[in-house]
Amino acid sequence: MAEIETTRRIMSGMEYMRKVMAGEIESGPMVRLLKMRITEVDEGRVVVTAQPSEDFENGLRIAHGGFAAALLDTALGCAVNSIMPAGKVFTTLEMKINFTRAITRKTGTLSCTATLIHGGSRTATSEGRVVDADGNIYAHGTATFILFRDTPEAS
């Protein structure tokens, strides 16, 4: 983990995410656990994909809402990260999600496209949608992030 923190201090968010997408830098533990992938990254816009599996199901054989929430949180944060300079980091302050249909293993690969709404000096906001290959919406949401300058002392 210390390597990720050090790398992000000297690399912009865009540079960092492009290296993660290319497999040059390992993604975060939660992203690996849920087998998410960044498939597109541009300034203020990202696409993150994931496929629901049995591991993410509740007792009704429907993916737990936390799966879609984690996919959204990841993509929404990456949209913000794409505009961050080296050393400027953030954390989720607030998130709002609407779930529109059940996610199951039969849903197949989901894509979450997130776009930046506002990138200020202290806060940023983004919005995103979780859709299947046919464009059906499974969840959509927004998030607010608090931004701060990372320092070695803060670690």
The 10s digit of each residue's pLDDT in 90-146 is 999 999 999 999 999 999 999 999 999 999 999 999 999 999 999 999 999 999 999
CB count within 10 Å of CB 24 equals: 9
Give me the pLDDT at residue 8, please. 81
Give me the pLDDT at residue 71, please. 98
Task: Summarize pLDDT for 59-105 with one digit per residue, the tens.
Answer: 999 999 999 999 999 999 999 999 999 999 899 999 999 999 999 99
pLDDT band (50, 70, 90) for residue 149:
confident
Instruction: With both helix axes pointing from N to C terminus, report the angle between 13-21 and 65-81 in degrees, rounded to the nearest 10.
Output: 130
Q: What is the DSSP string of 71-98?
A: HHHHHHHHHHHTTPPTTEEEEEEEEEEE
pLDDT band (50, 70, 90) for residue 43:
very high
Which two structure tokens, joined as six digits, stand for 37?
Answer: 């992938």
pTM of the model: 0.92
Domains and CATH numbers, the chain: 2-154 (3.10.129.10)
Give me the pLDDT at residue 7, please. 80
